[in-house]
């Protein structure tokens, strides 16, 4: 075996060390490792002699231990840490070498870094890596950006460590510069929506259906055998099954109902706002976490009037099926919105992103892995320029089978005073997309009234303004 490594990892905290071990376990790889504090490197090497790591104490030794073209994956703290390591590597690397940032970078940072690094002839690849520490060790879903040329060297290495779904590695070249981190960001946004929708389904089953957490665990386990089959549904059943050892109560009843977040959901919504793409399911999921964490308001609230009806579910199996259908329909909307955001990002930043391939590499290794993603791949394979997933034949018939239940469940939630923001906003989005006419015409009238913002007419070309404070005649402005 060569004394030089074909790949190196910088940053040996939990993600980096697991990724390095994953790389080392695959045939054909020799892995160089480096961490700012050498004790972490020593610990990793001593705990995993089987990996045969090439351990470097200094960045110079690390660079010297890499065969050319040098390829190094950075797995350090996102932000300043990543910038510092990129600077150290870029100083020592030569044209044609490849720097990969495998951390959770914001795609705009990746675009900036790519510009800076590629000016020296060095490739810079921002790679979204999903699946947490277990994924890093056993097989993540990987979303690399950067140049095609860099992917030609990097791709075969990443293919050795990625998760495998239906015989195919969960990695593909997403597009240039920040495309990989952009797609990873949207993945996380969809994950927020999916989790929130599942949580709303649980809440409705519990509050309206009167099911216990253990019974709901069984319902989810059953759902996991059908079209909802996914990692998130599977783990939801596990969490609901859990009993607290200290009190004997269901685990969900002893956990504080305040959900945290690390920011990628917020990034997704901010980005979608800038792009003018409605990701209402994701936004509701982010806001639902914010509301849950408003400790002061929630603790200090007065008795708020509800006028809610108490809902008694007579046919429990029918109710469970209605909630399942509402969940599936809302989930379809969340994914449709997420893929719309990717399409909008691709247009804005000139990325050639194959949406079907994106769905494919999410089938394994990542948090939103699901059977259902095959349907998305099929939809884009049939029609690459599909304007919305909701317009695909399969999804039209899936919604057709669900939409009546979806309406019933959302109406029931509203009448009985149970918050279901993601269910109801997804339905509103769907109805918005269906509508022949939207009340936006009135909004245009209001805008023209107070701000002379002008409007278009349905029956003739041109731009118009009504003289609202004058004689209210209409003038054509261009």
Instruction: Indicate the residue among 130 and 230 with the shorter CB distance to ligand NAP.
Output: 130
Confirm whether 184 is a catalytic residue: yes
Instruction: Indicate the residue among 77 and 477 with the shorter CB distance to ligand NAP.
Output: 77
Instruction: Indicate the residue among 85 and 427 with the shorter CB distance to ligand NAP.
Output: 85
Instruction: Indicate the residue among 69 and 140 with the shorter CB distance to ligand NAP.
Output: 140
Instruction: Indicate the residue among 103 and 175 with the shorter CB distance to ligand NAP.
Output: 103
Would you state the structure tokens that stand for residue 83, as one six-digit string? 């910038």
Dist CA 207 CA 216 (whole Å) = 11
Given a contact cutoff of 8 angstroms between Cβ atoms, the answer to whether 78 and 107 are in contact is no
- The set of residues, in sequence order, having a beta carbon less than 8 Å from that of 5 and lying 6+ positions away, is 30, 31, 32, 54, 65, 66, 67
Question: Which positions lie near ligand NAP, rule CB under 6 A?
Answer: 11-16, 35-37, 40, 75-78, 81, 84-85, 103-104, 129-132
Instruction: Indicate the residue among 140 and 281 with the shorter CB distance to ligand NAP.
Output: 140
The CB-of-394 to ligand NAP minimum distance in angstroms stands at 30
Number of residue whose CB is nearest ligand NAP: 103
- The set of residues, in sequence order, having a beta carbon less than 8 Å from that of 135 and lying 6+ positions away, is 129, 141, 163, 365, 366
The CB-of-89 to ligand NAP minimum distance in angstroms stands at 11
The CB-of-92 to ligand NAP minimum distance in angstroms stands at 14
The CB-of-53 to ligand NAP minimum distance in angstroms stands at 15
Among the listed residues 47, 138, 159, 191, the single catalytic one is 191
The CB-of-129 to ligand NAP minimum distance in angstroms stands at 5
Instruction: Indicate the residue among 140 and 421 with the shorter CB distance to ligand NAP.
Output: 140
The CB-of-421 to ligand NAP minimum distance in angstroms stands at 26
Confirm whether 246 is a catalytic residue: no
Q: Give the closest residue to 132 by CA, choosing from 368, 290, 359, 373.
A: 368
The CB-of-82 to ligand NAP minimum distance in angstroms stands at 7
Among the listed residues 116, 120, 184, 301, the single catalytic one is 184
Active site residues: 184, 191
């Amino acid at each position: 075996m060569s004394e030089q490594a074909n790949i190196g990892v910088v940053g040996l905290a939990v993600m980096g060390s697991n990724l390095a071990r994953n790389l080392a376990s695959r045939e054909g790889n020799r892995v160089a490792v480096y961490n700012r504090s050498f004790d972490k490197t020593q610990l990793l090497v001593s705990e995993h002699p089987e990996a045969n790591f090439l351990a470097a104490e200094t960045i110079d030794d690390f660079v010297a231990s890499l065969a050319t073209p040098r390829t190094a994956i950075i797995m350090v703290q996102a932000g300043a840490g990543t910038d510092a390591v990129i600077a150290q590597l870029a100083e020592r690397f030569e044209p044609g070498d490849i720097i990969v940032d495998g951390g959770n970078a914001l795609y705009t940072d990746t675009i900036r870094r790519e510009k800076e690094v590629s000016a020296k002839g060095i490739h810079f690849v921002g790679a979204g890596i999903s699946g947490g520490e277990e994924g890093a060790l056993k097989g993540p879903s990987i979303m690399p950006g950067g140049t095609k040329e860099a992917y030609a060297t990097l791709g075969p290495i990443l293919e050795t460590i990625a998760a495998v779904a239906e015989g195919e590695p969960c990695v593909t070249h997403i597009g240039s510069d920040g495309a990989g981190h952009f797609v990873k960001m949207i993945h996380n946004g969809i994950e927020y929506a999916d989790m929130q929708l599942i949580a709303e389904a649980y809440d409705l089953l519990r509050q309206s259906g009167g099911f216990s957490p253990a019974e709901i665990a069984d319902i989810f386990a059953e759902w996991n055998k059908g079209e909802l089959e996914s990692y998130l549904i599977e783990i939801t059943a596990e969490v609901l099954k859990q009993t607290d050892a200290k009190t004997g109560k269901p685990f969900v009843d002893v956990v504080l109902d305040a959900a945290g977040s690390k920011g990628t959901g917020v990034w997704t919504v901010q980005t979608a706002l800038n792009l003018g793409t409605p990701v209402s399911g994701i936004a509701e999921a982010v806001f639902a976490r914010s509301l849950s964490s408003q400790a002061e308001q929630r603790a200090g609230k007065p008795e708020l009037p509800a006028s809610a009806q108490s809902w008694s579910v007579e046919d429990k199996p029918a109710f469970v099926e209605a909630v399942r259908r509402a969940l599936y329909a809302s989930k379809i909307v969340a994914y449709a919105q997420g893929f719309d955001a990717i399409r909008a990002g691709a247009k804005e930043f000139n990325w050639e992103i194959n949406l079907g391939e994106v769905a494919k590499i999410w089938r394994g290794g990542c948090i939103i892995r699901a059977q259902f993603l095959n349907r998305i791949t099929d939809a884009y394979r049939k029609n690459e320029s599909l304007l919305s997933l909701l317009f695909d034949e399969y999804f039209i018939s899936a919604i057709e089978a669900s939409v009546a239940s979806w309406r019933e469940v959302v109406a029931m939630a509203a009448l009985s005073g149970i918050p279901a923001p993601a269910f109801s906003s997804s339905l509103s989005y769907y109805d918005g997309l269906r509508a022949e006419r939207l009340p936006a015409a009135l909004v245009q009238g209001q805008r023209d009234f107070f701000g002379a913002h002008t409007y278009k007419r349905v029956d003739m070309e041109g731009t118009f303004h009504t003289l609202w404070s004058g004689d209210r005649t209409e003038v054509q402005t261009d």
